[in-house]
Structure 1
């Protein structure tokens, strides 16, 4: 089993060394260096705890993909996840929110981390609404499936599978939840929140449509790429949505963009290793309710993201809640 984590261990060692070097050049003291290394380690653990359900959902999608597309996602996909979401995404938010150039955003992150963190915090409302709506659609789509015949919480999931015949039921649920939380806000925040939630909903639907068109066009060409381009695109947007909460929450531990990138990048490599292990060892087939726990955790995370527009919820609680749901599903699978 340890062989699956060899790259994660290597990236961890490199990340710790890079964190120590960064700590030394920024603080010049041994205590400051150890403090930076500790923050990088905590961020890595935070990312793993928040993204374990992401690994299960990735594995659920990857098991239906052809080997070449699995390999592409686990190589190019992880590069996009680590460098795109952990470095480029926070910079892009500041570029748009502060109306400055990309290089100016990098300089701001290095020279004025407090101002950078403040801009990121101010952008949290639309990000939470967008990510919450997208992830809720992901979770509900798993349960509102009339072909689903394995149920963990039987009394609830059987009803959800039954109501899946109603067209657009998931969309209606997401809109109702978004409307409910928007009523707890005041002033211009209401429009910002609801517009971002609508965009999250539309993004999910567009990814589904575009993915279906891409895969069907490939099949018509005779490549039979079941779960190819479309699934790759879906997984990338899904990973981005999972990353929103971790990237924003990381600024509560450190205001240094580069420290955050190191910590979250280490965590992302462990998520990749867990995904590979789940696919190759057939863990999802062996533990039949593990997927259910992951998708319940996704719905819980989406509600938390919506709720964070009103009240702050520590990321530790979010991570522990998701881990508890997955742990319960694992225990039920063993029974």
Structure 2
């Protein structure tokens, strides 16, 4: 990772602005290439200017959707990355983004259809290209287990941040004080998640309830297994260089599963705009690049340390997203509400951080 991008080191506002824009250079390049590919895809599939502009617009909207849904993803990524070695930071920001773009935006939807329709990967690709409506139907039918799995994993991520007895910075003090106090109770996060899953499963039919609960258990087990793996690898991190690399691997796996959970909602929601898998991959792939750029900027600038409540807003947004994913099988919640809700929580936490900084400066002066 490059060093020297310090927003406090510049002098003028223009210099700071140029420094900020430099983080998004590759995102702008990918945006131009992606939108050009979208326009080309619209032309070869429709042969009309109107169809070309329509596909171009959908790609742009999907990119904005992915960005709005992923503010909290970037903040949580930065929170984990700041404790990783530079080598593993670089690996996540290069190979990790490849997995995020191609794995979650292309391979993952194909695998869902492969499993749900019991067909081969090539047949699934052909189905996506030749019968997009049928492909979309299969994806929507698989939404229930995806929502249960992703919602459970994300809720564990959010609660684990607040139920931490070593946590010494509180934003919503009356609530976070209590959560820290009860953090020493073993398995309290697991208990809360299981109770939440049981409550939501009661509102579903017998068959749907069984699928929902089973998928939620897999989401819980995935979180616990990743935590155990990371703990086992990190426990020997200081002993040898090889062990240190393995510790980075544990955090890398955690971030990949986390990104997958964040991506579920965006991938499923994208089918509300288009049934074309390739258009979805282009739009969401553009958005994923901005998440990468925001993550790099947050890590290199030390933004999380400068704005002390920013992480809190992100983790509250994660918990809210997990609840929305649990509600989705019962009623449809537009993705714009999901994105705006998360962005609002992060914006309020940023505003609170700025107020706290101003009060501290005033007190010191």
TM range, smaller chain? over 0.9
Tell me, in whole angstroms, the C-alpha distance in 1 between the residues paired with 2:201 and 2:80. 32
Residue 66 in structure 1 maps to residue 93 in structure 2: no
- Identify which of 284, 296, 299 aligns with 1:279: 299
Cα deviation for residue 83 of structure 1 reads 0.3
Partner of 2:59: 40
Following superposition of structure 1 onto structure 2, how do residues 237-276 of structure 1 map, counting pairs within 5 Å? 237-276=257-296
**CA–CA separation in structure 2 for the residues paired with 1:225 and 1:249:** 39
Q: TM-score, normalised by structure 2?
A: 0.91
Work out the CA distance in 2 between the residues paired with 1:219 and 1:149.
25
Note if 1:158 corresponds to 2:177: yes
Q: Is the 8 A contact 2:236 2:244 kept in 1?
A: no
Kindly indicate whether residue 194 of structure 2 is the aligned counterpart of residue 175 of structure 1.
Answer: yes
2:52 aligned counterpart, secondary structure: helix
The aligned counterpart of 2:17 is none
1:110 aligns with 2:132: no
CA distance in 1, matches of 2:317, 2:223: 18
Map Cα deviations across residues 76-117 of structure 1 (whole Å, 9 max, x no partner): 000000000000000000000000000000000000000000
Q: Is the 8 A contact 1:55 1:271 kept in 2?
A: yes
- Picking from 17, 30, 37, the partner of 1:18 is 37
1:285-324, aligned counterparts within 5 Å? 285-324=305-344
2:156 is matched with: 137
Cα distance in structure 1, aligned partners of 2:238 and 2:102: 32
Q: Secondary structure at the match of 1:188?
A: helix
- Structure 2: stretches of 5+ with no match in the other structure: 1-19, 356-365
Q: Does 1:200 align with 2:219?
A: yes
Separation in 2 of the partners of 1:334 and 1:223? 41
* 1:219, distance to aligned residue in structure 2 (A): 3.7
> Is the partner of 1:220 in helix, strand or coil?
coil
Shift of 1:35: 0.2
Structure 1 gaps, min length 5 = none
Is the aligned partner of 1:82 residue 2:101?
yes
Structure 1 counterpart of 2:146: 127
The count of aligned residue pairs is 335
Q: Whole-Å Cα distance in 2 between the matches of residues 159 and 166 of structure 1?
A: 12
After TM superposition, the structure 1 = structure 2 runs for residues 221-240 of structure 1, keeping only pairs within 5 Å, are 221-223=240-242, 225=244, 228-240=248-260
Is the contact between residue 41 and residue 263 of structure 1 (CA under 8 Å) also seen in structure 2? yes
**Secondary structure of the structure 1 residue equivalent to 2:191:** helix
TM-score (norm 1): 0.99
- Deviation digits for residues 199-223 of structure 1 (CA, Å, limit 9, x no counterpart): 0000000000111222334543345
The two structures, once aligned, show a CA RMSD in angstroms of: 1.0
